[in-house]
């Protein structure tokens, strides 16, 4: 089932573009000075990608929150996007309740649930995405594309990045066979090992996404960090030989030169403690294309790894149990 959902990533991106083009987002009555996105898990990761995609262009700060409480700087000059595929995510609903009291312009991105009900009742702008997907983590395309269109329609970014989504679709379609083949190789490399995922700070969303997919689809632990920050702390932790660790570097030909040098030095240091190091080089002409290429590669890898681990890639019983137990506790 999960492989079928991953197969639909490209069609989903195409549909998301159509939804975004026809979405109606009204101007805010106040100048927008900052953007805040409330969302968690598969619904929240889209915000991380958008934050990186618009880093060089967005006219105001773009922040992502993944908890119950909103920051104190939110006010009437804030654009607040609540992203929850189900529309019933507990933490996002709590954040929404707080956002209503700030005077911020709130836009909902959801397939339904309480958030869409609130949007309709309070006459808030909303973008409703299809509700026939069984796993929110398989709906990244819907989430990130709608956030881009919200920014575009409010004149916070140009149409450059949405155009790059279109070119990324062409890239993925053209290289699909190679991507899936490479994913199988990567899954075998990671099998029976603990993945350690490294990339540069401009692509942390890729590393986070890959980590989350390994967690949920392959049912195993791993961790990630970014360069250069990890050179100031985690690198010192590499002191013991451990052949159960498998290091994955997500790399780009146009990474900042000093970061590229850092990665090469890191490999020499880490290579003393594990022989399992692999470098993955992106395809694409820009950050959007490169990131979505890595997303597609990582998603397939997590599925193939689930097969090697002999686990159900769809099942998330422990999360369902957590929500059930939380439901027994009053606020």
More confident residue, 54 or 138: 54
Assess whether 186 and 234 both reside in one domain: yes
Catalytic residue among 52, 91, 204, 216: 216
* Containing structural domain, residue 33: 2-158
Assess whether 210 and 65 both reside in one domain: no
Catalytic residue among 232, 253, 257, 310: 232
Rounded CA separation 88/115 (Å): 7
- The pLDDT of residue 326 is 86
Assess whether 75 and 211 both reside in one domain: no
Which pLDDT band, with edges at 50, 70 and 90, does 322 fall under? confident
Assess whether 270 and 210 both reside in one domain: yes
Is 283 domain-assigned?
A: yes
Tell me whether residue 216 is one of the annotated catalytic residues.
yes
Is 324 domain-assigned?
A: no
Assess whether 77 and 201 both reside in one domain: no
Tell me whether residue 188 is one of the annotated catalytic residues.
no
Look up the CATH number of the domain holding residue 121: 3.40.50.10490
Is 79 domain-assigned?
A: yes
From 60-69, 131-140, 263-272, the region with the lowest mean pLDDT: 131-140
Catalytic residue among 166, 188, 272, 323: 323
- The pLDDT of residue 324 is 87
Q: Which of 120-129, 136-145, 314-323 has the highest mean pLDDT?
A: 120-129
Long-range contacts of 100-105 (CB under 8 A, 24+ apart): 102/70, 102/74, 102/75, 102/76, 102/78, 103/30, 103/75, 103/76, 104/36, 104/74, 104/75, 104/76, 104/77, 104/78, 104/79, 104/80, 105/28, 105/29, 105/30, 105/32, 105/78, 105/79, 105/80
Place of tokens 């997500």: 250
Supply 227's token pair.
């360069």
272 pLDDT above the threshold of 90: yes
Assess whether 152 and 182 both reside in one domain: no
Is 67 domain-assigned?
A: yes
Assess whether 14 and 130 both reside in one domain: yes
Residue 146: Cβ-neighbour burial (10 angstroms; 0-12, 13-18, 19+): buried
Tally of domains in the chain: 2
- The pLDDT of residue 115 is 97
Measured in degrees and rounded to the nearest 5, phi and psi for residue 163 equal -65, -35
Which pLDDT band, with edges at 50, 70 and 90, does 323 fall under? confident
Assess whether 136 and 283 both reside in one domain: no
Give the number of other Cβ atoms within 10 Å of residue 175's Cβ.
17
Per-residue pLDDT tens over the stretch 280-308: 999 999 999 999 999 999 999 999 999 99
Assess whether 140 and 200 both reside in one domain: no
Assess whether 107 and 218 both reside in one domain: no
134 pLDDT above the threshold of 80: no
Assess whether 23 and 148 both reside in one domain: yes
Supply 284's token pair.
């694409």
Is 23 domain-assigned?
A: yes
Supply 293's token pair.
């290429």
Assess whether 21 and 145 both reside in one domain: yes
Give pTM, 2 decimals.
0.96
More confident residue, 42 or 246: 246
The average pLDDT across 162-169 equals 97
167 pLDDT above the threshold of 90: yes
């Amino acid at each position: 089932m999960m492989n079928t959902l991953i197969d639909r990533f490209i069609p989903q991106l195409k549909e998301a573009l159509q939804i975004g083009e026809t979405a109606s987002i009204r101007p805010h009555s106040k100048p927008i000075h900052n953007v805040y996105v409330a969302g968690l898990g598969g619904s929240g990761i889209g915000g991380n990608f958008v934050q990186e995609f618009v880093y060089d262009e967005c006219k105001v700060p773009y922040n992502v929150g993944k908890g119950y409480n909103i920051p104190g700087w939110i006010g009437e000059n804030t654009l607040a996007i609540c992203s929850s595929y189900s529309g019933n995510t507990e933490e996002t609903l709590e954040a929404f309740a707080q956002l209503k009291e700030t005077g911020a312009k709130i836009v909902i991105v959801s397939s339904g649930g309480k958030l869409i009900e609130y949007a309709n009742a309070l006459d808030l702008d909303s973008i409703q995405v299809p509700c026939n997907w069984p796993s929110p983590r398989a709906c990244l395309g819907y989430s990130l594309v709608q956030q881009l269109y919200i920014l575009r329609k409010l004149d916070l970014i140009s149409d450059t990045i949405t155009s790059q989504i279109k070119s990324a679709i062409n890239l993925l379609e053209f290289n699909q066979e190679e991507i899936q083949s490479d994913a199988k190789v990567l899954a075998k490399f990671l099998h029976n090992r603990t993945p350690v995922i490294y990339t540069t700070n401009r692509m942390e969303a890729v590393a986070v996404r890959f980590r989350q997919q390994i967690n949920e689809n392959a049912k195993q632990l791993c961790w990630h960090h970014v360069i250069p920050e990890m050179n100031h702390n985690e690198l010192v932790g590499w002191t013991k030989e451990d052949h159960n660790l498998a290091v994955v570097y997500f790399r780009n030909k146009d990474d900042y030169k000093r970061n590229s040098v850092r990665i090469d030095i890191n490999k020499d240091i880490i290579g003393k403690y594990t022989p399992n190091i692999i470098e993955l080089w992106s395809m694409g002409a820009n950050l959007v294309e490169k990131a979505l290429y890595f997303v597609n590669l990582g998603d397939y890898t997590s599925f193939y790894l689930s097969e090697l681990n002999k686990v159900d890639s769809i099942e998330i019983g422990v999360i369902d149990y957590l929500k059930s137990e939380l439901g027994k506790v009053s606020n």
